[in-house]
Structures are given as structure tokens and as C-alpha cells.
Structure 1
Amino acid sequence: MLSESVSAAAICPSLTASLAAQRRCTWRHGVLKKVSTAQQRGNPTTFCAKRTPATLSSPKPMCPTPLVKKSSSKLRATSKAAEAPSSKKILVLGGTGYVGSEVCRIALSRGYSVVSVSRRGLVEGSDQLKGVDWRKGDVVADPAIVAHILSEGGFDGVMHAIGMLLESDANKFASGSGSVPTPGSTYDQVTRQTALAAASAFSAACEGTDASSPPPFVFVSAAEAGWTQDPPVPFLVSYLKAKRAVEDELLNNYGASNKFRPVILRPSLVYSMDRTASLPAVGAFFLGNMLKLPGIDRPVLVETLAKAALKAMEDESVAGVQNFEAMEDLAAAL
């Protein structure tokens, strides 16, 4: 639900209680195929990434069991032996944000070459992000910046982690990074327009590449994008509408074209232990998930989410929607 925030439940106290009223989604794991938006909401499409390497263009049998439970040990064993991909070059959109900055940090530690965009240009104050090649620009105001950067060539993948929880200055308090949106920004502009502009630019940049090994495009969505009912909190209606629109386009358009490999990460509440204000909400979500309350996914550590994103980039068999269990397994395999 709140991939941009670790403190949303503190700002909207009714949110945690309201989640219990939602119907649980029926999760099935199958192949990536052309489906309607309504179908994706009720039955998220997930690749059997850890059972059989799959391409986006060829159907595979339905998985009889959840994605991560049966195959985690094998994935971990093979992945631990792999060396860090020191030659990889990636573009991280939202690199100054809560999730994006963690992706940048871990990618640098693994030897990646990381390019990101900031409205301020060079980002100061973080030794862990000094290795990032920062480009000055506002992706929300001018999405064409992404095409300009990708035209340089040499990129092995793109990560989209741009987002906001509240359409106002209050996002500064709701966001895990304390970011303030561009004045007048909407969920559609910040999420859908930037993601699809980046996808279009990356697709064009991938022309002529090996279709049997399409490069990854990772999008941070939300667990609640799979809900079949409208959310109980009004602001989530527009928030999830933008997330679902991106998912639909990535899976049904770009995934079918095989220009790149779309990976959809669907975390619920994203947190870290150093942000104590969010921990009561995190505890409530953990309890709700343990009690199997409808619509409540287990919270995801921001480090786990970032590691899962990078592992998904490195593992060519991973594509489609990844729930919290899949993300935990991917992170453990990095």
C-alpha cells in the first residue's frame, strides 16, 4: 500500500483498522499473459521465477504452490555463488527517495554504476551515495529527461521508485524521505506519467538488443493494487489507480513486446527500524497478517525491498508481479 511511506498509518489512524474490512485477494501464480485490469486486481499475475526460467512471450504451466516457499533454498544456493555484477549500469528514478536511495546504496556496494536524477543535481550529505552519478532535473515536470539520459546508451536496467503518498506538502511528513512534491503534482503525474515515459524511453533504447535476454524495468507498485474492492481511505483511490495503470501497461504492452522484462514489486507498508514513529503501524500490520485478516500483507523492510529489486534485475527468470514473500526470497538470494 504505502511503498512511498513508513508513517502513513500514523497520519491516517483509521487506515489500519479499515484494512480488515477488505476482502482477501485470491493469489494465484501463473504465467504472464494479456489480462484485463480487473483481472490483475483480483488475481495478480506472477511468474514462476524460481521454478523454471521463463520469457515473457511463452506461456508456462500454472504453479501449484506459491512462488517462494518451495524454491527458496535452490535460488539462494545458486545466487550466493554468483559474483557481484560489477559491470552493470542502471538508472534509478527516485534515487533521493526512501526506497530509491536504498537501491542506490546497495547497488553501489555491489559494484554497479548508478545514474540517478535529482531536482538539486549533486546530492550532498550522504557518504553512502557519493558514488551515484547525479543528473539535475525534475522528472515529474519534464519526463523527457529520462529519454535524454538513456540515449547515452550502456544501461542494463531501469528502476522506477518515484512516488508520493499525499498530493500536498503534507507528503513531507508522510514520506519516508521527507520529500516535498512539485507544487500541483498529482498521483497521475508523479506515478503514471513518469513511469510510462521512462518505459517508452527504455523500450526505444532497447531496440536491437537480444530479444532472448531483455533487460529489466523494475517498478515499485503497492500490494493494494491487487485489491478487488475500492480502498476504504479516499486518497488511496487515486493513488492505486495510478499504480494499476502502470502495471497494466508494463505487463500487457511492453511485456508482450519483449522489448524489456517488466518486474512489478508490490510491497505493503515499507519500514526500517530506525524510523520509530512508524513502528506501531508496522506492528499492527504484522499482527493483522499473522491473523490472516483480509487485505493485510506483511510489512517489508526497505532494505529487503531494495535487495529484491536488484536481485530481480540480475535474475533473468524473474518477471511480473512479486508479492512480499517473493521479495523476501529474492532479497535473501542476493
Structure 2
Amino acid sequence: VGLNAFTSASKSKPSDASTYDNITRKTALTVIAALNARAKLPEFMGGAPTPMAFMSAAEAGWPEVALGDKVEEVSPDWLKRYLVAKRAVEAELGRSTDKIRPVIIRPSLIWNWAKLDVLPVIPVFNIANALGIPFVDKTVRVEDVGRSIVAGLLDDTVSGVQRYDKIEALSASLPIAK
């Protein structure tokens, strides 16, 4: 709960039942099961997978980057539980692509100008990313995350993991005022 003041813009106070498993994995798997159970037209009749956006985390991709596994080994237990939940949902989405078109948004640190306490660490992330540290992604604005989700759901060609570069590109592609 102590870190929640830093990570939660709403300053939420989670209950003991508000685990990563309950909030992230179980909720998302319920949605995936419901989408998979829906009848849909076959592809040859114009049916297409139903788009579903999932807010994951850049750190869920650590096994895919150099030194990511080493960083995860020394990560705190709460972060490991968080990543287990995120990866479980990503894996289930990957198994469901016949009925679901997953748009997996994988930001690292999300920020905006209203959350002043996080502003000092933004340059640290962005410089580390610019220097090529493989397990640190560039930060993204919350507005870009929101627009990228909408753009990804609307664009039938978008599927799979969207890291910071794709989040920014999708956001820029959405024809709405910024």
C-alpha cells in the first residue's frame, strides 16, 4: 500500500482482496472467456475476431530482452506477482486469436503533468532507454495510452504487443484533437 501513493494517480487504498491475481488475471480471463463463448460468423462469411485491449506492462516483456531475466530475479515480490498476472492474461489472449484480436498495450511508466510526484523520474527512464538499456522503456503520456487503445481497437491491422513506440504511433494516428 505504501507504493500505491506513488503508482496510483487516484491514491486508491486497495483491500486485502485486491491482489494482482484477482484484479488483473481473474477479471481479464473472465472477459476473454465471455468473448470466446460468443458466437461469431466464420471468416469466410465476413466474420472477424473481436478486438480486446489489455493494459499490460513493459516489464512483462523482460524475458524477451537482454538482461531482463536478471533484473526480474532481483525484483521485489510484489512486482513478480504483478508480472505473473500480466503474463497469464497475455498468454491467454495469445491462445484466443481465432476469436479475439488482442491489442496488448505495454507501457512502462505512464505520466501526465497533473501527477507531479512522478515527474522527476521521467528523465531517468527516458535517458536509460535512449542509452539502449534493454529493460527500460521510454515513458508515455497517459493521453497517448488512451488514444492508442482506441486507435488499436478501431484499426483491424493492429494486433499483439504494442510497446512505447507503437503506443505513440497509434496515438498520433487517431484523428482527434490533442
Which category of TM-score, normalised to the shorter sequence, fits these structures? 0.7 to 0.9
Task: Decide which of 19, 32, 39 is 1:186's aligned counterpart.
Answer: 19
1:68-116 alpha-carbon deviations (Å, 9 max, x no partner): xxxxxxxxxxxxxxxxxxxxxxxxxxxxxxxxxxxxxxxxxxxxxxxxx
CA distance in 1 between counterparts of 2:121 and 2:18 reads 27
* Runs of 5+ consecutive residues of structure 1 not aligned to the other structure: 1-167
What's the offset of the Cα at 1:189? 1.1
> What residue identity is the alignment partner of 2:115?
R
* Matched residue, 2:88: 245
1:25-55 alpha-carbon deviations (Å, 9 max, x no partner): xxxxxxxxxxxxxxxxxxxxxxxxxxxxxxx
CA distance in 2 between counterparts of 1:200 and 1:247 reads 13
- 1:273 aligns to 2:108 (yes or no): no
- 1:260 aligns to 2:100 (yes or no): yes
What's the offset of the Cα at 1:274? 1.8
CA distance in 1 between counterparts of 2:125 and 2:3 reads 23
TM-score (norm. length: structure 1): 0.46
Higher RCO (CA-CA < 8 Å; seq separation 6+): 1
1:183-239 alpha-carbon deviations (Å, 9 max, x no partner): 33221111111110111112223x134544222110000111111212532121111
Q: How does 1:164-183 map to 2 (within 5 A)?
A: 168=1, 171-183=4-16
Task: Decide which of 186, 204, 208 is 2:40's aligned counterpart.
Answer: 208
CA distance in 1 between counterparts of 2:5 and 2:42 reads 42
CA distance in 2 between counterparts of 1:266 and 1:169 reads 24
Task: Decide which of 149, 167, 173 is 1:327's aligned counterpart.
Answer: 167
CA distance in 2 between counterparts of 1:173 and 1:301 reads 16
Task: Decide which of 72, 75, 88 is 1:233's aligned counterpart.
Answer: 75
Which of the two has higher C-alpha Rg? 1
CA distance in 1 between counterparts of 2:101 and 2:7 reads 31
> What residue identity is the alignment partner of 1:306?
G
Aligned residues: 163
Select between 228-237 and 281-290 the one with higher mean Cα deviation: 228-237
Kept after mapping to 2: 8 A contact 1:169/1:180: no
Q: How does 1:26-105 map to 2 (within 5 A)?
A: none
Question: What RMSD in Å do the two structures reach over aligned CA positions?
Answer: 1.7
* Matched residue, 1:221: 56
* Matched residue, 2:153: 313
Kept after mapping to 1: 8 A contact 2:106/2:164: yes
Kept after mapping to 2: 8 A contact 1:169/1:181: no
* Matched residue, 2:140: 300
1:232–1:280 CA distance, 2 compared to 1 (3 A)? farther
* Runs of 5+ consecutive residues of structure 2 not aligned to the other structure: 64-68
SS in 2 for 1:184: coil
Kept after mapping to 1: 8 A contact 2:108/2:138: yes
- State the percentage of identical aligned residues: 41
1:225–1:170 CA distance, 2 compared to 1 (3 A)? closer
CA distance in 2 between counterparts of 1:216 and 1:176 reads 27
- 1:282 aligns to 2:111 (yes or no): no
CA distance in 2 between counterparts of 1:176 and 1:191 reads 18
> What residue identity is the alignment partner of 1:276?
L
